[in-house]
Amino acid sequence: MTTYTAPVDDMMFLYEKLRNNKFYNELDKYKDVSPDLVKNILEEAAKINQNLILPLAKAGDEQPAILENGVVRTPPGYKEAYKKYIEDGWTSLSCDPKYGGQGMPKTVSAFFDEMLSSASLSFKLYSELSIGAYNCINHHATDDVKERYLPKMVEGKWSGTMCLTEPVCGTDLGLLKTKAIEQNDGTYKLSGQKIFITSGDQDLTENIIHLVIARSADSPAGTKGISLFLVPKFVVNEDGSLGPRNGISTGSIESKMGIKGSATCVLNFDEAVGYMIGPKNKGLNSMFTMMNLERIVVGIQGLGISEIAYQNSLIYSKERKQGKSNKNNSTNGSADFIIEHADIRKSLLNMKSIIEGERALCFWLSQQTEVSLNHDNEKIKQEASDYVSLMTPVVKAFFTDMGSEITSEAMQIFGGYGYTKDQGIEQLYRDNRITPIYEGTNSVQAIDLVFRKLVNKNGDIIDRYINMVKKDLATEDDKIKPFAKILNIYLEKLITFTSWIKEKIQNSKDDANAASNDYLKVLGLVAVGYSWFKVLQVSFDDYENNKNFYEDKIQTANFFFKRVIPRIDSHCSSAMSGSKYIMDYKFN
Ligand SMILES: Cc1cc2nc3c(=O)[nH]c(=O)nc-3n(C[C@H](O)[C@H](O)[C@H](O)COP(=O)(O)OP(=O)(O)OC[C@H]3O[C@@H](n4cnc5c(N)ncnc54)[C@H](O)[C@@H]3O)c2cc1C
């Protein structure tokens, strides 16, 4: 079984030393969230994740969720753990105190999300979509609906789901067939089938609040005719008590490669009572509130799984002896720990430098998200929102793709013991593999980035981002200059690639489409590099106060700048070869 120690020190380093966003620090809401308070929260979070939730990962993999007489049963231990989890208030961490939440910023809840993803992604998914649904209802529903549903969701007694996918529509939601017929009392009756619904049913909560997209009878075809509906498993009475069972049944649950403890359900809606949320035919806009925040959280899933894969690889490489290191001249046939081999060390540093850089980037993005939601100056809010919209597909796709790379690398370090089941490494690989697919596939994230996020109605977001990085790199500090020089070289490559892709968007969409994944990687590498640059600034400035910690940071960054960021070269030259030879090829 895998072991896990939550990286509280690294998280506290970010919280104490990189909370330097002026606009974030202006938010009154979070003035009382002191480092001491955050440290207490993270230490408690570490305990529950390491002790209670980590063992559920293996349990859920070996005894997956099942459907029994129409009811989903979660794996052994999940019910007891969920009870404790909600009693301790973990579902409510970032929710509004008005509805019983603890009002913590995303800078803190993102750390918790990472720990929970490391401990057990399957268990995490039972509450993850509840928070997404909470955010969506909080943004778009009437006060009456919010008061009726949110307190129970924040408490964790009711959960939430996101019902988009249907047999004929995944990426292209405009094809959906689920119908909503308006009733005389203003409610709707929904009929249709949704598939792949995470936590569509379970035995952990008293009620499930489904957020469903559907088309009402008089709405146009395509995405412009989609509305959003709240459809509870049990109808909720005026006084908040539970009424009759609604017309929703679980057809089956999927048998999957990974996250087997999570119930992925086929849901049949048969004249189920629903309430429209937000304006008619604008359902996708409302749903995007949920999906955008969710995409960042899915990126964090990739980060969390990468962290536990790295930790276990490091331990193993210090325990497993094979072959002689290049320093070992003995002739007695003794072998060295595999951590002595340059190739293994390179793999470990690859993992570590990507993970720590991603965590720093995620911390920056969490601050931007809070500014975009809460600042009282509209212009500042909008600018932050633009950065969030630029970086959301990057975090979702880059972190989860790196999760695939890192879990695969971990398996490689474990050799045959990584491929067999005992050590739990192959499970990390399988569990992570869904993250590049759900919440919009990574290719679709890349296309979204290239075609919609670089330039929008507020102007040229990517140029603004590039200029911000460029300004910071103009440093006279001798220690950090070599890093600034390398990052500058790759920033120039990003600039060239950006001009190329902007031109192709106008004149050759296939070229742009075929280059999208590479472009996302290049921007991801620059963004992680820039996050490392910020970490380095603190590491050099504050060096004497925590030498060992900062030396470790500097050396890890050194690896990233020498061995990881140069991947940009190959992404650029491959992508800029165009797409004619791809589109002209005739598949047999
Ligand atoms: C375990 C699991 C949990 C899930 N949970 C939920 C959930 O809670 N709620 C929910 O609604 N859905 C959920 N999903 C569905 C998931 O979001 C979809 O599977 C995903 O969005 C992709 O849709 P699809 O499977 O239909 O693939 P398709 O859309 O058919 O895509 C197939 C391939 O074509 C590519 N592609 C599609 N369009 C384009 C394009 N325009 N240009 C280039 N390439 C393109 C895709 O990248 C992909 O590689 C879940 C799925 C799984 C497996």
437, 442, 449, 519: which to mutate for ligand 1, most atoms within 8 A of CB? Answer: 437
**Interior/surface letters 88-123, b for 16+ CB within 10 angstroms, e for the rest:** ebbbbbbbeeebbbbebbbbbbbbbbbbbbbbbbbb
Predicted confidence (pLDDT) at residue 37 exceeds the cutoff of 90: yes
Complete DSSP assignment for 56-68: HHHHHHHS--EEE
What lies within 8 Å, CB to CB, of 312 at 6+ separation is 2, 3, 410, 414, 423, 424, 425
Is the separation of the CB atoms in 189 and 273 below 8 Å? yes
Q: Separation of 87 CA from ligand 1 center, angstroms? A: 34
Sequence ranges of the domains in the chain: 459-588
Which residues line the pocket of ligand 1, CB cutoff 6 A?
162-165, 170-171, 196-198, 256, 264, 434, 437-441, 443-444, 447
Predicted confidence (pLDDT) at residue 330 exceeds the cutoff of 90: no
Q: What is the model's pLDDT at position 288?
A: 86
**Interior/surface letters 277-289, b for 16+ CB within 10 angstroms, e for the rest:** bbeebebbebbeb
Is the separation of the CB atoms in 324 and 334 below 8 Å? yes
Is the separation of the CB atoms in 60 and 123 below 8 Å? yes
Kind and range of the H or E run holding 268 = strand 264-277
Q: What is the model's pLDDT at position 377?
A: 97
Res. 140 pLDDT band, cuts 50 70 90: very high
Is the separation of the CB atoms in 475 and 481 below 8 Å? yes
Q: What is the model's pLDDT at position 230?
A: 98
**CA–CA separation, 436 and 137 (whole Å):** 26
Is the separation of the CB atoms in 291 and 444 below 8 Å? no
Q: Separation of 195 CA from ligand 1 center, angstroms? A: 11
Average pLDDT, the chain: 97
Which residue's CA is minimally distant from atom 6 of ligand 1? 197
Which residue's CA is minimally distant from atom 2 of ligand 1? 196
Q: What is the pLDDT of residues 537-563, one digit of tens each?
A: 999 999 999 999 999 999 999 999 999
- Catalytic residue, from 114, 294, 370, 439: name it: 439
Q: What is the model's pLDDT at position 291?
A: 86
In one-letter notation, the amino acid at residue 233 is K
**Which residue in 157, 391, 151, 392 sits closest to 290, CA to CA?**
392
Residue 445 three-state SS = helix
**CA–CA separation, 585 and 588 (whole Å):** 10
Which residue's CA is minimally distant from atom 19 of ligand 1? 438
Partners of 181 in beta bridges: 189
Q: What is the pLDDT of residues 264-299, one digit of tens each?
A: 999 999 999 999 999 999 999 998 878 888 999 999
Which residue's CA is minimally distant from atom 38 of ligand 1? 171
Category of 243 on φ-ψ map: left (φ > 0), alpha (ψ -120 to 50) or beta? beta
Q: What is the model's pLDDT at position 325?
A: 87
Q: Separation of 45 CA from ligand 1 center, angstroms? A: 32
Per-residue pLDDT, averaged over 256-268, amounts to 98
Least confident of 61-75, 324-338, 396-410: 324-338
Predicted confidence (pLDDT) at residue 74 exceeds the cutoff of 90: yes
Tokens representing 87? 């009693």
For the CA of 163, the nearest atom of ligand 1 = 11
Burial class (CB in 10 A: 0-12, 13-18, 19+), 32: exposed
Q: Separation of 487 CA from ligand 1 center, angstroms? A: 35
For the CA of 172, the nearest atom of ligand 1 = 29
For the CA of 171, the nearest atom of ligand 1 = 29
Q: What is the pLDDT of residues 16-30, one digit of tens each?
A: 999 988 999 999 999
Predicted confidence (pLDDT) at residue 223 exceeds the cutoff of 90: yes
**Is 439 considered catalytic here?**
yes
